[in-house]
Structure 1
Amino acid sequence: MKYYDENIPDVEKDLETSLKTGLSNEEAKKRLEKYGENALASKKKRSMVARFFDQFKDFMIIVLIIAAIVSGIVAQEWTDAAIIMIVVLINALLGTFQEAKSEAAIDALKEMSTPSAHVRRNNVILEIPSTEIVPGDVVLLEAGDVIPADMRLTVAKSLKIEESALTGESVPVDKSSETLPDSEVALGDRINMAYANTSVTYGRGEGIVTATGMNTEVGKIATMLNNADETDTPLKRNLNQLGKTLTIMILAICAIVFIVGVLKANPAERNSTLMINMFLVAVSLAVAAIPEGLPAIVTIILALGTQTLAKHKAIVRKLPAVETLGATDIICSDKTGTLTQNQMTVEKVYYNGVVHSEDQEISEDNPALLSMILANDTQIEEGGRLLGDPTETALIQYAFDENIDVQELLQKDKRIQEVPFDSVRKLMSTVNKFGDKYYVAVKGAPDELLKRVTSVEINGQVSPITDEQKQDILAANKDMAQNALRVLGLAYKYVNKPYDDPTTDNVEQDLIFAGLVGMIDPERPEAKAAVAEAKRAGIRTVMITGDHQITAAAIASRLGILQESPDKNKAVITGAELDKLSDDYFIKHVSDYSVYARVSPENKVRIVKAWQANDKIVAMTG
């Protein structure tokens, strides 16, 4: 079931649970037995013996083994037979060793401590291992928690969840407990759901677990990976074809040699001895013609390739993958954290009626900068490490980059009161001691902020804001947004004393507009050069992301990915639009698209298969 389009009481009824008391311990135990542990399953591991015998499945290896048997038994060339078998065994041992070594490295990466979760059971809040979570459990969430399972949110107090690993969303998502009216909502837009393996960055919440283990959204991805078809690499196909061609040619030549040898002999000499001798000659010729060193040479070269890649911190699970990388035609890359830094960064700041770039100097007493720093919940640890919402940490990092002593400023202008952010009014305010007065710092959605603004500061002069100035601010906001920047409005005012009861109705009124700040998860410095280098090598880069269409298109343009498409207006497609295309049409037109936005994991599989249907070697990264 979807659950995001169901009312909370209906979800409670469907899952036979209680928001007030949670499940009983007895019921939780029954459900754990029924649904199993809340953990992802993986493919059954193959033993070393099975891996060893897998190395003998190549056609060339089979030909060599037959050649060794024939050479020894028929031709009595035991030395040749032994040499061939030694080569075959060395080849198998090298392949087995490399695969085992890679698997061990991957297993080491998987070893992580099992996180715990807070659940309500028998009307008591307990901390239990996340593996013991079952459908129907009521889970409590706080900032810093990893979501243990898929759940329908029932409480969302200023709740923000980082979902980039699952959906590609570059910034934390504001969550709500409201029922979604539409029955078909994309994964990234299900704001009343929380998904396993994502994390809470802000606020708190509660939710009813709707799916655990392999039934979660991340579990569906694991299922797809476990069920992915094993495809032969170009090298393996070529070697198999070479083996078949050589075998046919060698057998044909040997047959000709045998027949010619028999026919050339005198009729009187055509006896069984001649037949045996000519057969041995033909067998010897066949054994001599088979390139028994080829598989070993290929294996050694690929093994050397894996060592070279290992020096660059890349793990190669199977040897032929080294060659496949070199034969790649298409690279399908995720955006967030792969092509971009997965770190929000200030790029534009609008104040005094002008847009400034992030590297332009800003004065320490600029009200836009003060509001960025003071209306901010970022925690600054020793060494300057920033903890908190990525949007807020970006503002503090901007201040650091401007050589502002943020910690000293926060000590001097201490926070006295606050009105926390919530997803309804989309604002956050703090009241800070500021000399003999108090400074109210406000930041939030520009359109919501402007509703509460009565004045504007231009070059230190405060005056009533005009409709024309509001239109200029909205135009600057629109321009930033069209360039895929996440925009926040900044405002302030001075008051003579703290509030008796600080609320949005008194704190966030009669504000002075200070500015706008535009942020983006910027491209990695090396990514643009990598895309260009791949293009020079004849490799096309395609972006596949769960992030929004405008953001994806902007980053793709900056990286040069959209230049690959003949028609840039049609080069960007969303997952919803892709779902409407037939497989036949999509396979024929897959080269038209360079950017896929708001896609699901299932869409990614379909995109790769469409390219493969066009005989392209596809690499997926992200």
Structure 2
Amino acid sequence: MDPIIRGEGKKMQWYQLTPGDCLDRLGSSAETGLTDDEARQRLARHGPNKLGDEEKISILSLAVHQFMSPLIAILLVAAIVTYLLGEWTDTGVILLVVFLNAVIGFFQEYKAEESVRALKGFVVSKARVVRGGREREIPGAGLVPGDIVLLASGGRVPADLRIIHAIELRVDESMLTGESLPAEKGAMPIAEESLIPGDQANMAFMGTAVVNGRARGVVVATGAATTLGEIAGEVREIGITKAPIQEKMERFARAIGILVLVASGVLFGIGILLGGTAKDMFMTAVAAAVATIPEGLPIVVTIALAVGVGRMARHNAIIRKLQAVETLGSTTIICSDKTGTLTKNEMTVTLLYDGRHTCEVTGGGYEPIGEILRDGLPVAAAGEEQLARLLRIGLLCNESDVYEEDGEWRVDGDPTEGALIVAALKGGLSPEAEEEAWPQTAIIPFESERGYMATIHDHGGKRFIFVKGAPERVLDMCTIDSAEREATLRIAGDFAAQGLRVLAHAWKEIPPETGKLIHDDAETGLCLAGLQGMIDPPRPEVVEAIRGCRRAGIRVVMITGDHGVTARAIAADLGIVRDDAPVLTGRELEGMSDEEFSDCVREVSVYARVAPEHKLRITRQMAASGEIVAMTGDGVNDAPALKAAHIGIAMGKGGTDVAKEASDMVLTDDNFASIFEAVREGRVVFDNLRKVTFFLIPTGVAAILSIIATMIMGMPIPYVPAQLLWINLVTNGLQDVAMAFEPGEKGVLDRPPRHPKEGLMSRLLIERTVLVGGLIAVGVVYTFTDALRNGATLENARTVAVTTMVFFQFFQAWNSRSETNSIFSLNLLSNPFLFVALIAAFFAQLAVLYVPALHVVFRTVPLTAAEWGTILAVSALVVVVVELDKWLRRRGQQEDD
């Protein structure tokens, strides 16, 4: 039986076993490893240590998919019919729209399908192993379970390993856990159940980076069976989450298709019943159908989204998928990582306790600007012996450095140690002077199993040990009474409750002849110097952004690898939750059924110590409860959740390629405030799509209603097919595109998100479309019949009707610029593109009326001044009626409020 799976009923919890038990189960030896024959057999059984070749994307299927939209299908039918009718210009325009949409959609989907490919960059090309008792270097793909792997500083972990021996090993697991600090690793077994990767301190995972130290580990999983491989599998299986705008457009297209077919059929049937010829009525019905179909809408959607992309780029948000623009405007929940997105990713000491006093440290980040305050007054290390000792230990019991580069302060080493250096600088200590006065002669580096770091320093002919580490551990090493111990632990607890990471500092004098530093020298008889509490401070602009999200009806949820106390404290500081808000940990989530989790997903806004599968589960549960979810992430572990969310947002600075490839949007500044700005642009885009729809639809409705009305009245129809197609071209040719450039209205972020089920047309717009469509139809029929009563020829009356329709739509363009605000409150030139488009359309209509060569094509005649007066008076009524409707609705809203 395969030793790898012997005795397993579920996935093996390797971290719970001793190194010896792991080796026994894997049939391996720490000293000799596997033989070449055993390795070959296992390689044949388990396959190569790689994540697998992704199936090739079918270019043909992607291309065909671009033509599956109902609206595109209707446009293709319209193109065929207009071609058969000899209206080749309309045929060309329709086919151009279809082609442009197909090309844009194809490349967007092609890029989206490449997400998992970035994972291959994490497969390690070479690995150092022990086989047959000899060290050798082999291709990473040749690793098998049971292999003994040697790790060293600067390398990548080539597979999932159970550490069996470690020396000062620290591993950067940020790509998996989101933790900014390197994880300390050891070999001791851990008894707890269901630990997330970030808590498995004796495991090293494929793709993570060794920051410090050396280790020997046994391979427990390779390829797709690794934690990284499981994430790749999840990304592969999730597929593409359909954006809300795609669903809305599909529903709208189906509704329009049914409406057009029914209306055209009714029009054809009434015409036949009233004595029209089948040929004439068929051509009229087809022309009316083509006029009704908003063929400009798909390309306007694309242009509006592209305009949004440009605007968002100015706010440091790079859009990878066009639909993401509108999705942001629909978002009801933003799930955000903590480190670097809500916070600065710069550890900063904010509180000190020197054994007698608690002091506040001002300033943030690694720039050494700030001061130490006691009771609100500045204090310096000079003249304050206890404070100076506390800061000196933090400065010198340290392996890192702080420096300035290109005007930005950075840390070379551990961010925690960088914060201690900056605190000392704020207290007035000079690193150069201190290092000269207190030269270091020996060191015990920090190791998680010890819980402290120690150094020896010479000063004034004497020798001292400096120690820093976890408060509980360091206090055990100090000679203090129980009352002082309890008081110090209480202060450390207060610091931790504020979200601070707390380090205790201690010291003692040792004999001058002490040379090599050993553990026994440091672990007894220390004197407590005090505590330093540090935090990764929130970004100042994020607090206002979260407040804005609340006004906009968007809930912000923090998902972090930090511990619950720290997570709640920071979330409270940011305004995400109250101080007593519930925090759900990954371990608690692990024990919940989907039904239990569904009950609390609407209430919990802070998730702590989560694993990759938890983040994906959170995303899916929120979406299942009807939310539109935006999810941020930067690590490989975030990729499944990013892809499953309605909009995945990756970090541009610190994010992995995997996260970026799985995302819809990338933040170039890793700042949550940029998401908030992008939400505004997303809402503006959707508003503009609605404006375009409201602008386009009433014309088609009016065309069909006016034709039916005149036929019922026993009169000739008011347009010939060519005129209907001209109306469609001159009223929709440029104005609809210009609507995509409308600036955002005031208060766009002060209203709640749209209901996820709400379509492209709201109830208000449907009601107003019926009102405007009916008004235009009545106005056209009136001017048409009035012209005939006054003795005009049929050709002249139809010219009046066509021109009336065109000018109705000119005024309707201004009405469409806002659903609620009066057009008289809008700047006429705030959308110069629309202004120019209307002028161009006006002169095009004049050309049809007054250029003799066009009279034959469109069967028009010049109009008299009196006819122009009637046309302008009637068509301007649409402004009066819509303004009245807006005023009544505003007043009703004010009364409700």
State if a TM-score over 0.5 links the two structures: yes
- How far off its partner does 1:104 sit? 9.2
Assess, with a 3 A threshold, how the Cα gap between structure 1 residues 336 and 614 changes in structure 2: closer, same or farther.
same
- Contact 2:351 / 2:358 at 8 angstroms: preserved in 1? yes
Aligned equivalent of 1:378: 400
What amino acid maps onto 1:482 in structure 2?
A: A
Assess, with a 3 A threshold, how the Cα gap between structure 1 residues 280 and 588 changes in structure 2: closer, same or farther.
farther
Deviates more, 1:119-128 or 1:148-157: 119-128
Aligned equivalent of 1:428: 453
Distance 1:262 1:295 in 2: 34
> Any idea what SS the aligned residue of 1:157 has?
strand
Aligned equivalent of 1:461: none
Aligned equivalent of 1:296: 299
Distance 2:620 2:49 in 1: 31
Distance 1:327 1:5 in 2: 45
> Any idea what SS the aligned residue of 1:586 has?
helix
Task: Note the 1:341-380 alignment, pairs <5 A.
Answer: 341-359=344-362, 360=372, 361-363=379-381, 366-378=388-400
Aligned residues: 600
**Residues 36-91 of structure 1: per-residue CA shift (max 9 Å, x gap):** 44344575453655544332222211111121122223x34333222211121122
Aligned equivalent of 1:596: 607
- How far off its partner does 1:313 sit? 4.9
Assess, with a 3 A threshold, how the Cα gap between structure 1 residues 184 and 130 changes in structure 2: closer, same or farther.
same
Aligned equivalent of 2:177: 167
Residue of 583, 586, 589 corresponding to 1:575: 586
> Any idea what SS the aligned residue of 1:306 has?
helix
- How far off its partner does 1:281 sit? 1.9
- Contact 1:40 / 1:219 at 8 angstroms: preserved in 2? yes
Task: Note the 1:528-539 alignment, pairs <5 A.
Answer: 528-539=543-554
Distance 1:315 1:287 in 2: 37
Distance 2:447 2:149 in 1: 21
Aligned equivalent of 2:440: 415
Distance 1:537 1:253 in 2: 40
Residue of 26, 34, 42 corresponding to 1:23: 34
Aligned equivalent of 2:556: 541
Task: Note the 1:86-485 alignment, pairs <5 A.
Answer: 86-97=96-107, 116-128=126-138, 130-169=140-179, 171-265=181-275, 274-359=277-362, 360=372, 361-363=379-381, 366-378=388-400, 385-402=410-427, 404-454=429-479, 466-485=481-500
- Contact 1:528 / 1:559 at 8 angstroms: preserved in 2? yes
- How far off its partner does 1:604 sit? 1.8
Task: Determine which structure has the larger strand proportion and give its number.
Answer: 1
- Contact 2:167 / 2:215 at 8 angstroms: preserved in 1? yes
- Contact 2:402 / 2:418 at 8 angstroms: preserved in 1? no
- Contact 2:150 / 2:215 at 8 angstroms: preserved in 1? yes
Distance 2:352 2:139 in 1: 45
Task: Note the 1:61-76 alignment, pairs <5 A.
Answer: 61-73=72-84, 75-76=85-86
- Contact 1:416 / 1:498 at 8 angstroms: preserved in 2? no
- Contact 2:195 / 2:587 at 8 angstroms: preserved in 1? no
- How far off its partner does 1:353 sit? 1.0
**Residues 300-344 of structure 1: per-residue CA shift (max 9 Å, x gap):** 221232333345554433221211111111111122333233343
Identity of paired residues, percent?
41
> Any idea what SS the aligned residue of 2:335 has?
strand
> Any idea what SS the aligned residue of 2:395 has?
helix
Aligned equivalent of 2:570: 555
What amino acid maps onto 1:377 in structure 2?
A: E
Assess, with a 3 A threshold, how the Cα gap between structure 1 residues 363 and 195 changes in structure 2: closer, same or farther.
same
- Listed as ranges, the gaps of 5+ residues in structure 1 are 455-464
- How far off its partner does 1:139 sit? 1.9
Assess, with a 3 A threshold, how the Cα gap between structure 1 residues 17 and 485 changes in structure 2: closer, same or farther.
same
Distance 1:430 1:524 in 2: 35
- TM-score, scaled to structure 1: 0.87
Distance 2:541 2:116 in 1: 26
**Residues 458-515 of structure 1: per-residue CA shift (max 9 Å, x gap):** xxxxxxx554333322221121122232211111123351315532323443222211
Deviates more, 1:249-258 or 1:130-139: 130-139
- How far off its partner does 1:595 sit? 0.9
Deviates more, 1:126-135 or 1:426-435: 126-135
Deviates more, 1:385-394 or 1:82-91: 385-394
Assess, with a 3 A threshold, how the Cα gap between structure 1 residues 576 and 513 changes in structure 2: closer, same or farther.
closer
- Contact 2:83 / 2:91 at 8 angstroms: preserved in 1? yes
Assess, with a 3 A threshold, how the Cα gap between structure 1 residues 489 and 187 changes in structure 2: closer, same or farther.
same
What amino acid maps onto 1:486 in structure 2?
A: R
- Contact 2:116 / 2:235 at 8 angstroms: preserved in 1? no
CA RMSD across the alignment = 3.0
Aligned equivalent of 2:620: 609
Distance 2:345 2:131 in 1: 37
- How far off its partner does 1:193 sit? 1.4
Distance 2:460 2:440 in 1: 13
- How far off its partner does 1:178 sit? 1.9
- Contact 1:139 / 1:207 at 8 angstroms: preserved in 2? yes
Deviates more, 1:96-105 or 1:515-524: 96-105
- Contact 1:170 / 1:521 at 8 angstroms: preserved in 2? no
**Residues 87-109 of structure 1: per-residue CA shift (max 9 Å, x gap):** 21122223345566788999899
- How far off its partner does 1:617 sit? 0.7
Distance 2:282 2:606 in 1: 62
Distance 1:340 1:123 in 2: 49
> Any idea what SS the aligned residue of 2:14 has?
coil
Distance 2:483 2:67 in 1: 78
Aligned equivalent of 2:16: 5
- How far off its partner does 1:382 sit? 8.5
- TM-score, scaled to structure 2: 0.62
- Contact 2:477 / 2:522 at 8 angstroms: preserved in 1? no
Assess, with a 3 A threshold, how the Cα gap between structure 1 residues 342 and 145 changes in structure 2: closer, same or farther.
farther
- Indicate the structure (1 or 2) with the bigger Cα radius of gyration: 2
- How far off its partner does 1:548 sit? 1.3
Assess, with a 3 A threshold, how the Cα gap between structure 1 residues 309 and 403 changes in structure 2: closer, same or farther.
farther
- Listed as ranges, the gaps of 5+ residues in structure 2 are 1-11, 363-371, 373-378, 634-897
Aligned equivalent of 2:67: 56
Assess, with a 3 A threshold, how the Cα gap between structure 1 residues 338 and 41 changes in structure 2: closer, same or farther.
farther
- Contact 1:442 / 1:508 at 8 angstroms: preserved in 2? no
Distance 2:289 2:80 in 1: 12
Aligned equivalent of 1:489: 504
Distance 1:330 1:277 in 2: 55
Distance 2:121 2:171 in 1: 24
- How far off its partner does 1:137 sit? 2.2
> Any idea what SS the aligned residue of 1:562 has?
coil
**Residues 101-154 of structure 1: per-residue CA shift (max 9 Å, x gap):** 788999899868956543323333334554443322222223443323211110
What amino acid maps onto 1:281 in structure 2?
A: T
- Contact 1:418 / 1:429 at 8 angstroms: preserved in 2? yes
Distance 2:560 2:228 in 1: 16
Distance 1:250 1:527 in 2: 48
